[in-house]
Structure 1
Amino acid sequence: MCPAADGGEPVRRERPADDHTAFAALLEDSAEDLYEHAPCGYLSTLLDGTIAKVNTTLLDWLGYERGDLVGERSFSDLLTVGGRLYHETHYAPLLRMQGEISGIALELRAADGSRLPVLVTSTVKTGGNGQPLLIRTTVFDARDRRKYEEELLRARREAEREREELKRLNTTLQQTLLPSALARVPGLEVAAHYHIASADRVGGDFYDLFPLSAGTWGLFLGDVCGKGAGAAAVTSLVRYTLRAAAVYDPDPAAVLTNLNTVLNHEYHGADPRFCTVVFGLLTFSGGAGEGFRITLAGGGHPPALLMSADGGAEYAHMPGGQLIGVLPHPHIATRTLRLAPGDTLLLHTDGLTEARTAPAAEGERRRDRYGDDALLAFAGALGPTTAPGAVAAVRDLLTTLGPGVDDDTAVLAISVPRPEAARSGL
């Protein structure tokens, strides 16, 4: 209807009769035409698989004439060798048992030998007495889907390749942050291990043992906050700063004070960086068989474990040591120990004691942690031991905890051999 030009009653516009006829013709496709030119393929087969009816859509897809298929071939004849095997061993038996099977990915062989990826759904038509009469099958062209799946697979393979490359780069970077070899100290056994929790990101744990002067060595072990390239840069700075500071002034507290100054200078404001660290100054305590003297300075780091020659174990606590890099003038705690023959000192990062030992109960966020008490009991059961023995035991423990170790863990152990072990070469 349209409004009248003079503002009076609207004028009704009649659709011409020929327009009505054409519009009705568009809406009244015959059922046969809908079947023949549907956007999917249809075929009906007898119970033995012989094709009884097929629509034009499927014939066009495959390039066959109707007479080539109807009464001449079975549905399985259109399948590839692998598809035919699947049809006989899985598809057909399931269809007989269930009466319907849907969304099965297969490939049909076209007349020119090419392959058409399809999704197939079949149902069994039954008579009034429930007896099966024929099988109706709907076929959907899956070429676009196959291309999409292949693109996804290609992207996944590329992502996996890039991830493996990233792992290799991370491993290489991680190796540059650790000493290629620890210094050999006459009269001392040394062992270390680095446990990588995830190959996808570089951790911030570090350790080293190096000579300073005749009869004096420096050692350290620590953990930089965070992971990834940023943490790796800080770790590198921390390692070289500790070595340089120890040459300038080997006093352990002075070494950590210098490191704190560097971190405060380099990282401040919106991107502060800090670490926990233990630095030790190791010297001979006397003549042969007298052992070593070690002075430790701690900056917020877990205490070292001292496993004595008599089989006991205790923490070498340094109360009050504060994180390095947070405050301008942190308190740095120190302690001096004597390592006698048969004694072992083990330093570790908190990835060990913070490891999960059991999953949280349903609805709980907390998870049990391995903890300091468990580590102390573990060390007590080891004693007396050696540096290689202690590190090997910790490696086995980390393996036992498995995925519960979700943070990198570094361990460094030193021990003074017993005189009889030294003489026998053990």
Structure 2
Amino acid sequence: MGFEVGIARHEGSWTSSVVAGQRDASPLAAEAAQVEAARMEATRMEAVRRYDILDTPPDGAFDRVARLAARWFDVPIASVTIVDEDRIWFKSAHGLDGVTQIGRDPGLCGSAILDDDTYVVTDAVNDPRACDNPLVASELGVRFYAAAPIATADGHRLGTVNVIDTKPRGIDEAGMATLRDLAAVVMDELELRLSALHRLRLERELREQAERDRAEIESFATTLQRSLVPPALPRIPGLELAAHYRTASARLVGGDFYDVFPLAGGRWAVVLGDVCGKGAAAASLTSFIRYTLRSLATHHDDPVAVLSELNAAMIAEQSLDTLPKFCTAAFAVLSPNPDDGDPTEFEVVVAAGGHPPPYLLPAAGGAQALATPHGMLIGMLPDARFITCTARLRPGDALVFYTDGLTEARTHTGEEFGEQPLEEFLATHTGCRAAELTGHLVTLLDRFDPRRADDVALLTLSMPPTSAHDGVTRTETTATTEVGDHG
């Protein structure tokens, strides 16, 4: 297998050279020398592993060094080798087609790395260091060998750049200097390669850390978002409820919110809104608004009074050193009109502050926006005014609350969806129950451009059609919710 059928084991060669003069001293000194040789070999191998060069694919830079060495010295064989624990591995081998590695014991490269300077055998047949090497007497007939160690800045010799001929020859000082320069070129290439590996590893670690951070941020945002809306919609006798929440970014807490909670006298409050901003500031404001609304609604029967008190509370929270805090909201109170214990319809009183009005979808068909001309933003002006509208929700009817992320959604050509197309869309889905209607709206959202998306909150209520059974009029009660989705 080529010219290095056996490479002298480094430990053995090193030990021989170190202890040769101490054989007559004492067995203890020889043992100490062997221990030191083993330690030095272990540190050398750490350096070899540090450069992560063993068993790497062919590399043009190292191949050029081997070709240049063969051409410069006019020899048939030249190689760049790395001395491993039990083998000589060829990073490049000119004139040794198909040879990638050979055994280390016994050989020439293993001896060459013991010297700081070039290692030269001018005529192997007459050189006691090489005359017993199998390659000298083999078919290959190695006669000339010269190698310079590939040495690190801290003195570890990783391998050699060597040239071989089948006839005896000499090498002058200029030739040895050239061989040393070629070994230095190889070492420079190894350092560049190591530096690139370090950069790649660092970049990979940074990417992995960024991915972990991203996942953690998304998990935090999702958890925080879930804490700002009801974990589940309540069950309201005679009504079906469904909700969907979609944030534009998984990394940011959205500014939209909704809530459904009971009031005295069998009434229910329904609120859906949008706070300014995103992230932690929006989350803090949303939490303040939700719980303030719940508190105010227990003291006021009129939705306008509730929004007015919320407006005053938000203004009181403002300070000169903070950005304005405001929101839009639609606040509704549902009062059931029972017939023998079961609601036959609900009175809906809605007040809006800067928010798109909800749509009523009568069972008879069509869709109509409840006449709450948006009102004023909540939290901006002390004397903000709010408008109410009263409607009836009867069996087969539905009521749709939404945030402006739905009407301001953009198509892939950049066009805004708008309120009129929404009204037309809803009119084609009258008679749907809450969960089905919400599903149609979600499908509609999926058709828009996610790169231009805003947060969207949907809250749908429907009164199931009455069904006669044993002469008794009955309605069903269900509630579904989807929270935390993002585009």
**2:267 maps to 1:213:** no
SS of match in other structure, 2:245 = strand
**2:327 maps to 1:275:** yes
SS of match in other structure, 1:401 = coil
Q: Percent identity?
A: 39
Choose the corresponding residue for 2:438, options 375, 383, 391.
391
Tell me if the contact between 1:202 and 1:232 (Cα under 8 Å) persists in the aligned partners: yes
Tell me if the contact between 1:44 and 1:53 (Cα under 8 Å) persists in the aligned partners: no
Tell me if the contact between 1:344 and 1:387 (Cα under 8 Å) persists in the aligned partners: yes
Tell me if the contact between 2:357 and 2:374 (Cα under 8 Å) persists in the aligned partners: no
The equivalent residue for 1:319 is: 373
**2:347 maps to 1:296:** no
Take 1:397 and 1:225, find their aligned partners in 2: how far apart are those partners? 25
The equivalent residue for 1:346 is: 400
Structure 1 vs Structure 2 CA RMSD? 3.3
Take 1:250 and 1:144, find their aligned partners in 2: how far apart are those partners? 72
Structure 1 342/314 Cα, relative in aligned 2: closer, same or farther at 3 Å? same
The equivalent residue for 1:256 is: 307
Alignment of 1:97-112 (within 5 A): none
Letter of the aligned partner of 1:403 in structure 2?
A: P
Unaligned runs of 5+ in 1: 1-39, 79-109, 116-137, 360-366
Alignment deviations for residues 363-396 of structure 1 (CA, whole Å, 9 cap, x no partner): xxxx211111111111011012221121111111
Tell me if the contact between 1:182 and 1:209 (Cα under 8 Å) persists in the aligned partners: yes
Q: How far apart are residue 60 of structure 1 and its match?
A: 7.0
Take 2:319 and 2:96, find their aligned partners in 1: how far apart are those partners? 83
Q: How far apart are residue 164 of structure 1 and its match?
A: 0.3
Structure 1 268/328 Cα, relative in aligned 2: closer, same or farther at 3 Å? farther
Q: How far apart are residue 404 of structure 1 and its match?
A: 5.0
Choose the corresponding residue for 2:95, options 68, 71, 75.
71
Choose the corresponding residue for 1:369, options 413, 416, 421.
416
Choose the corresponding residue for 1:333, options 368, 372, 387.
387
Q: Select the structure of larger CA radius of gyration.
A: 2
Q: How far apart are residue 65 of structure 1 and its match?
A: 11
**2:192 maps to 1:171:** no
Q: How far apart are residue 69 of structure 1 and its match?
A: 3.6
The equivalent residue for 1:308 is: 362
Q: How far apart are residue 425 of structure 1 and its match?
A: 5.5
Letter of the aligned partner of 1:272 in structure 2?
A: P
The equivalent residue for 2:289 is: 238
Letter of the aligned partner of 1:335 in structure 2?
A: C
Structure 1 285/65 Cα, relative in aligned 2: closer, same or farther at 3 Å? closer
Alignment deviations for residues 334-357 of structure 1 (CA, whole Å, 9 cap, x no partner): 111111111100000011111111
Take 2:72 and 2:262, find their aligned partners in 1: how far apart are those partners? 87
Letter of the aligned partner of 1:306 in structure 2?
A: L
Structure 1 145/45 Cα, relative in aligned 2: closer, same or farther at 3 Å? closer
Take 1:219 and 1:282, find their aligned partners in 2: how far apart are those partners? 8
- Structure 1-normalised TM-score? 0.68
Q: How far apart are residue 71 of structure 1 and its match?
A: 2.0
Alignment of 1:94-133 (within 5 A): none
Take 1:149 and 1:181, find their aligned partners in 2: how far apart are those partners? 47
Letter of the aligned partner of 2:64 in structure 1?
A: L
Q: How many residues align?
A: 320
Letter of the aligned partner of 1:398 in structure 2?
A: L
Q: How far apart are residue 61 of structure 1 and its match?
A: 7.7
Q: How far apart are residue 215 of structure 1 and its match?
A: 1.9
**2:454 maps to 1:407:** yes
Take 2:217 and 2:441, find their aligned partners in 1: how far apart are those partners? 28
The equivalent residue for 1:284 is: 336
Structure 1 320/236 Cα, relative in aligned 2: closer, same or farther at 3 Å? closer
Tell me if the contact between 2:372 and 2:387 (Cα under 8 Å) persists in the aligned partners: yes
Take 1:285 and 1:160, find their aligned partners in 2: how far apart are those partners? 54
Alignment of 1:29-178 (within 5 A): 41=62, 43=64, 52-53=70-71, 62=82, 69-73=93-97, 77=100, 140-141=189-190, 142-178=193-229
Take 2:258 and 2:248, find their aligned partners in 1: how far apart are those partners? 17
Alignment deviations for residues 99-134 of structure 1 (CA, whole Å, 9 cap, x no partner): xxxxxxxxxxx999x99xxxxxxxxxxxxxxxxxxx
The equivalent residue for 1:363 is: none
Structure 1 357/320 Cα, relative in aligned 2: closer, same or farther at 3 Å? closer
Tell me if the contact between 1:204 and 1:223 (Cα under 8 Å) persists in the aligned partners: yes
Q: How far apart are residue 144 of structure 1 and its match?
A: 0.4
Tell me if the contact between 1:54 and 1:70 (Cα under 8 Å) persists in the aligned partners: no
Tell me if the contact between 1:256 and 1:324 (Cα under 8 Å) persists in the aligned partners: yes
SS of match in other structure, 2:399 = strand
The equivalent residue for 2:428 is: 381
Take 1:59 and 1:372, find their aligned partners in 2: how far apart are those partners? 77
